[in-house]
Amino acid sequence: MAFFNYTIILSIAIFFTISSATQFTIDTDKQALLALKSNFLSINSYTTPLSNWLNDHSSPCNWTGVTCSQQRVVELDLSGMGLGGLISPHIGNLSFLTSLLLQNNQLSGPIPDQIGKLFRLNNLNVSFNLINGEIPTNLSRCSDLVNLDLMQNQISGNIPDDLSRLSKLERLNLARNRFFGQIPLSITNISSLTYLNLGTNSLIGGIPSELGNLRNLRILDLSINNLSGNVPQSVYNMSSMVYLVLADNDLTGDLPTNIGFSLPNLLGFNFCFNKFTGSIPSSLHNLTRIRSIRMSWMFLEGSVPPGLENLQDLEMYNIGYNRIVSNGDDGLSFLTSLTNATRLSYLAIDGNLLEGRIPESIGSLSKDLTKLYMGGNRIYGRIPASIGKLRGLKLLNLSHNLISGEIPPEIGMLTYLQELELSGNRLSGNIPVSIGNLEKLNKVSISGNKLVGSFPFQGINWWEAYRQNSRNLRI
């Protein structure tokens, strides 16, 4: 009798083993994909990106965007295919899926709860869509997730604490959504994180000091939120940090003078549009590999520290709209130091208290320089002829200074120039005919000067220029 019972139990066990093994097959994967397709819409009527997804005898392993392994769907890449509609709950039946890429479409609706069934998933990217609702709580069941990218959607609610269960997560991108509340402390327990982007949301409160526990973090972006208070010292001590972006918040406090030593691997530093005080940390100019330094629209004082000549890889230097000072004819000599930065494309020192003459060396700045902002200071003297060597310039702003003399004809050598701002100075003499050669020029501001002569209107909005300078300009 015991043997009989054992045989029955063994038979039942074998049955359920076979049943569960055959419950999900390539055929069920196929039906799940067809259910997905039925919920999708083609945004462009002239394209049919999933035209070979057919309910016939074809294998889904040969379908567009589908990758199989051992006759199971393991990757689904429908990125940039012009798809609208909803993500079907049947996504949860693709039980062997490891990568789901739906970015750059116009998908809407929420992320279905059934996503939590995909316990093999390690890459989920639905960025740049119109997805709304909240993050499903059971997403934390996808314990193999390495990359979670929900950027640029309409997802709202608090950032769920359950994300901390994703112990293998390396990249978390929740930027450009509608998240509110505080940064959850639970995120600071995901020790594997190397990339954390919570920018452009509605987060409030302070930056948790526990973020300093993320010793592997290389990129931190908390920009464009409503964060307040001081930046914890622990954040400044994250020596692995490569890009630190805290711009456009309500953060306060002095910038640490030793930041260039405590963050030795920095390539990008963006603290613009905050309430930071103190001076420009001179140690930043010791970071020989740094590419971007952005500290505009704050309350920094003092002078530009030495060391800019060390920054040969620098591409952007923006200290505009602070209280930075300089004095005497050589007050702008730090610009000469920047001539070593051969990749510099953006330079902004406008809206400060800088005094001095524009050095002749300005023409030796990078040939890649496209935007040069120097307006709103106390710069005097003439515009050097060497300005004409900056052939890559698209914008030149010297407005609202004390610059005198004539506009050098070499301005006409800036063939890529689109915007020329010279208003509010003491310029005099004739407008050089060479400006008429600037065919790309579409914005000119020369009012508040003492210029005379005919305006060379070829290739520019000459009527706007005339209107702005009508008291002094004769046409």
What's the angle, vertex CA 179, arms to CA 123 and CA 229, rounded to 5? 115
Q: Tell me, what amino acid is at 128?
A: F
Q: Which positions ≥6 away from 105 have C-beta within 8 Å?
A: 43, 78, 79, 80, 81, 82, 83, 84, 128, 129
SS (HEC) of 300-333: CECCCCCCHHHCCCCCEEECCCCCCECCCCCCCC
- Give the separation between CA 446 and CA 469, rounded to whole angstroms: 6
Give the whole-angstrom CA distance, residue 221 versus residue 226. Answer: 13
Ordered strands of the 426-430 beta sheet: 355-357, 378-381, 402-405, 426-430, 450-452
CA distances from residue 328 to 353, 357, 407 in whole angstroms, order as listed: 12, 8, 22
Cα gap 379→449, rounded to integer Å = 15
Per the listing, tokens 């407008």 go with 431
Return the biggest CA–CA distance within the chain: 116
Element (DSSP H or E) covering residue 76: strand 72-77
Judge contact between 212 and 232, C-beta under 8 A: yes
User: What's CA 233's distance to the chain center, in Å?
Assistant: 24
pLDDT tens digits for the chain (475 residues)? 444 444 444 333 433 333 344 467 899 999 999 999 999 998 876 667 899 999 998 899 999 999 999 999 999 999 999 999 999 999 999 999 999 999 999 999 999 999 999 999 999 999 999 999 999 989 999 999 999 999 999 999 999 999 999 999 999 999 999 999 999 999 999 999 999 999 999 999 999 999 999 999 999 999 999 999 999 999 999 999 999 999 999 999 999 999 999 999 999 999 999 999 999 999 999 999 999 999 999 999 999 999 999 999 999 999 999 999 999 999 999 999 999 999 999 999 999 999 999 999 999 999 999 999 999 999 999 999 999 999 999 999 999 999 999 999 999 999 999 999 999 999 999 999 999 889 999 999 999 999 987 767 554 454 454 444 444 443 3
Task: Match 């579409």 to its residue by tokens.
Answer: 442
- Give the Cβ contact number of residue 164 at 10 Å: 16
Q: What SS3 class is residue 375?
A: coil
DSSP per-residue letters across 89-136: GGGGG-TT--EEE--SSEEEEPPPGGGGG-TT--EEE--SSEE-S---
